[in-house]
Amino acid sequence: MSNLEIGGRLRGFHEYNVKPVRDLLLKGEFGFLVGAVVETLTGHNPYFRYRERYGKDRIVTRQVRAHEMWIDLYDRGISRHLFIRGIHEANATAAYRDALSEIRDDTTETVTVLDIGANIGYYVLEAADVLDDRASIVAFEPDPKNRQLLERNIEHNGYGEQIEVSPVAVDDEPGERIFCRSTHSNWNRLARDEATGNVDELVERFSVETTSVDAYLDEAGVSPREINAVRMDLEGHELNVLDGMMDVLDADGPLVLFVEFHPDFGERGDYKSALSTLEHCGFTVRHVDQYWNVLDIESFEELRTVDGSHVRVIVEK
């Protein structure tokens, strides 16, 4: 193992093990910490049983950067991460806000954003904070549990006028698909034949309505040229969504696209095809990070060589 690989593993251990323990101790959340440790070892969390016994709600509020968010303590994914840290994907958050700020400053018009897989609203709230009353955001979230918290967080933070929530899942075409819910709410996804890195965490399946971006805009009477930013995190389903939004991708811009890719989920050829689509449509690479590191990547050629998962890419035109 190279020194670089050893250093990466040490940074990962610090980021995902040492820092969460430190943060919980600093917040005085001893019960939560003990429960999380026991859950890791046994699959059962005594802290949650304690909360249930004494009638404590699983839905709690937490200060997350500039917003107070309602989160689900029982969710092992983004809610738990926000409860511990109060921030999610710090490098990508900063880069996305910077990109949105530039669009805001370059136009006097409304800035229209599509957030695909909005979850409980972390990035939706960040976009609304940057764009303020100039924002027009459509947040797509097909999971009813996530959507309930999403809508609650939007209203709680005063963004009801700027953000519209859609219950449909975004795909390459309108129709109906099977939706898979995970123990980690940000690992939810549409069913697919290929396995993903999170397949063992799926706990429920149900049917949802789907649309494509282009079909949604056509039905809503919105020109593809009006879309200024699109964010998506779809656990390997990115190429499908890109195929269904070619009218938006072909538009002149300005357009910022923020996608979390997972090169090792499913067929790697899908990842390379998605990058080729973006390159063909005239995008340039603005930001890339993976896990806790910002990657020194400025071209699609370099981006094609990245392995692993959770590759957060911001491109623009």
| Torsion region of 237: left, alpha or beta (phi above 0 gives left; psi -120 to 50 gives alpha) | alpha
Structure tokens at 41: 């070892």
Contact call for residues 281 and 259 (beta carbons, < 8 A): no
Q: What pLDDT, on a 0 to 100 scale, did the predictor assign at position 54?
A: 82
From residue 297, alpha-carbon distances to 2, 7, 284 in Å are 21, 20, 11
Average pLDDT score over residue span 194-204: 64
Weakest-pLDDT range from 75-79, 136-140, 143-147:
75-79
Q: Could you tell me the end-to-end alpha-carbon distance of the chain, in angstroms, rounded to an integer? A: 39
Bridging pattern class, strands 189-190 and 175-182: antiparallel
Does the pLDDT value for residue 116 go beyond 80?
A: yes
In the chain, which ranges are E strands? 59-64, 67-72, 111-116, 135-140, 163-166, 169-170, 175-182, 189-190, 202-211, 227-233, 256-261, 284-290, 293-294, 311-316
Rounded Cα distance between 107 and 126, Å, is 19
pLDDT digits (tens, 9 = 90+) for 244-259: 999 999 999 899 999 9
For Cα atoms 136, 82, 190, give the angle at the middle one, nearest 5 degrees.
Answer: 65
Q: What pLDDT, on a 0 to 100 scale, did the predictor assign at position 15?
A: 60
Q: What pLDDT, on a 0 to 100 scale, did the predictor assign at position 196?
A: 56
Confidence of residue 26 (pLDDT cuts 50, 70, 90): confident
State the sign of the Cα–Cα–Cα–Cα dihedral 75, 77, 79, 80: positive
pLDDT digits (tens, 9 = 90+) for 3-20: 555 565 566 555 656 677
- Mean pLDDT, the chain, as a whole number? 89
Q: What pLDDT, on a 0 to 100 scale, did the predictor assign at position 264?
A: 81
- Return phi, psi of residue 72, to 5°: -105, 110
Structure tokens at 3: 């020194």
Bridging pattern class, strands 163-166 and 135-140: parallel
pTM (2 decimals)? Answer: 0.89
The fourth-level CATH superfamily of domain 90-316 is: Vaccinia Virus protein VP39 (3.40.50.150)
Rounded Cα distance between 75 and 61, Å, is 14
Spans of all domains in the chain: 3-85, 90-316
Contact call for residues 263 and 309 (beta carbons, < 8 A): yes
Does the pLDDT value for residue 194 go beyond 70?
A: no
Does the pLDDT value for residue 2 go beyond 60?
A: no
Would you give the DSSP letter of residue 79?
H
Confidence of residue 80 (pLDDT cuts 50, 70, 90): confident
Contact call for residues 254 and 103 (beta carbons, < 8 A): yes
Does the pLDDT value for residue 130 go beyond 80?
A: yes
Contact call for residues 96 and 231 (beta carbons, < 8 A): yes
Confidence of residue 202 (pLDDT cuts 50, 70, 90): confident
Does the pLDDT value for residue 109 go beyond 90?
A: yes
